[in-house]
Amino acid sequence: MAKQQGALAVTDLNEAQDRLRIVLDSARDFLKRGWSLKEFRELIDGSDGYSGTLWQKASELGWPGTLVAENHGGSEGNFMELSGLAEACGKALAPMPLTANAVAARIVENGSNEAAKKKLLPGAASGKAPLTLAMLEAGLSVDRLNVKLDAAPKAGGYELNGSKMFVTYANAARHFIVAARLDGDVALLAVPADAKGIELVRLTPLDWSSLFEVKFTAVSVGADALLARGDEAKALLREALIEGDTLLCCEMVGVCQSALDSAAIYANERIAFGKPIGQFQGVKHRLVNLRADIEVARALIRTATQDIATGHDKRRVSAAHTAYWALDKLKKVPEGCMQVFGGIGFTWEHDIHLYLRRAATLASLLGEQAEHREVVVNHLDTGAL
């Protein structure tokens, strides 16, 4: 696939790193003032799984349009800035469709359907008409691109039949970017969320987030819904996986950092045998090892985000390496933090389990370790990208 729109030149990386720090600090400050774990707990009892109010506030700050071109209503930023926003959202457990909307919008913007760009991107950039990618299906494991949902030509358009699993923020989206099978080819179609024949089935992930199965029963769309097919569609989906996986890892780092911060504070305050438990070797070493796992993840993410931002040929390998580490080590960080709290950490009233649940759900969306390991090993063995 050609170098993507908005890719940075290598010489711009230092400036981008400076902007990333500013973005991360401002995002953390905004979420600290505008969101709390108390509000998250209140959301658990609701049915939406996301905060429309928080999303509206983030939209007013321009977050949804970070990667969208200026002529389509965005700010035409870079992927590193978006990664900072994703990490801040993870740290605050902010339930909003930032990543889902960004990945789907990138598919539209990097595709060749100019009419779709004019139609879909302004709403995605403003946050008023979010997009989400409907790609995964039941029974798939390592090969997430093996789509089977049928899109048959009919009456000058297409008819969709099948279902998609684990669609994030489907209840917030105005359009689904659907991966389907069209005459044997992989195809991408923009399907209105309110189209007749679409049914949303709420799933119940560990963290109560907005996750759905989307069923398509004789859903009719016009010919203009087709965004790409064949090699172009596959290339767009591969890029979506690279970027989506990396952003999920950014969120996981934020989640794990909050869990570790909480455990470190407790270790300094909890007194046992006359001194803080953080002074005991078993607790001290556990916290240091957890911190090391997070720092390794940050280093891998830094490489992956830079490779994506510059359109580097190794971006798929970098993203796979990051995802593998997240699945192998990062998702276990909140578990280790919970053990620092002892029995109190297993109670409903304590907040540490919220981080554990969120990290586990994010990890489940990254696919199988075998998929990412194969990419890395093939690169080390043959140099394959």
Taking residues 208-237, report their average pLDDT: 96
- Among residues 257, 337, 348, which one has the least CA distance to residue 298? 257
Average pLDDT estimate for 315-341: 97
Is residue 341 domain-shared with residue 367, that is, in the same domain? yes
- What is the pLDDT at residue 7? 67
Element (H, E) at 344: none
Crossing angle of helices 79-92/13-34, nearest 10°?
30
Q: Is there a domain that residue 5 lies in? A: no
User: What is the Cα–Cα distance from 284 to 361, expressed in whole angstroms?
Assistant: 28
Q: Are residues 207 and 241 in the same domain?
A: no
Q: Are residues 346 and 290 in the same domain?
A: yes
Per-residue pLDDT at 87 exceeds 80 = yes
Give the pLDDT confidence of 104-159 residue by residue, as tens digits.
999 999 999 999 999 999 999 999 999 999 999 987 666 788 899 999 999 899 99
Q: Is residue 112 part of a domain?
A: yes
What residue spans of the chain are helical by DSSP H? 13-34, 37-44, 52-60, 79-92, 98-110, 114-126, 231-269, 281-310, 315-328, 333-341, 352-364, 369-382
| Per-residue confidence (pLDDT) for residue 23, from 0 to 100 | 83
Contact (CB, 8 A) for 181 and 162: no
Cα separation, 243 vs 305, in Å, equals 8
Contacts of 345 (CB under 8 A, 6+ apart): 337, 338, 339, 352, 353
Residue 2: per-residue pLDDT: 42
- Whether 377 maps to a domain, the answer reads yes
The answer to whether position 153 is within a domain reads yes
245 with 359, same domain? yes
Q: Considering 104, 128, 152, which residue would you say is the last residue of a domain?
A: 128
Domain region containing 46: 10-128
- Examine the fold and report which residue of 128, 146, 166 is the final residue of a domain before the chain moves on: 128
Give the model's pLDDT for residue 11. 53
Q: Six-digit token pair at 33?
A: 């003032």
Reply yes or no on whether the pLDDT at 12 is more than 90: no
Of 61, 93, 128, which residue sits at a domain end? 128
The CATH number linked to 195 is 2.40.110.10
User: Mean pLDDT across the stretch 284-297?
Assistant: 97
Question: Same domain, yes or no, for 198 and 278?
Answer: no
Q: Do 169 and 255 lie in a common domain?
A: no
Q: How many domains does the chain have?
A: 3
For residue 15, the domain's CATH number is: 1.10.540.10
C-alpha dihedral, 316 to 321 to 324 to 328, nearest 10°: -170
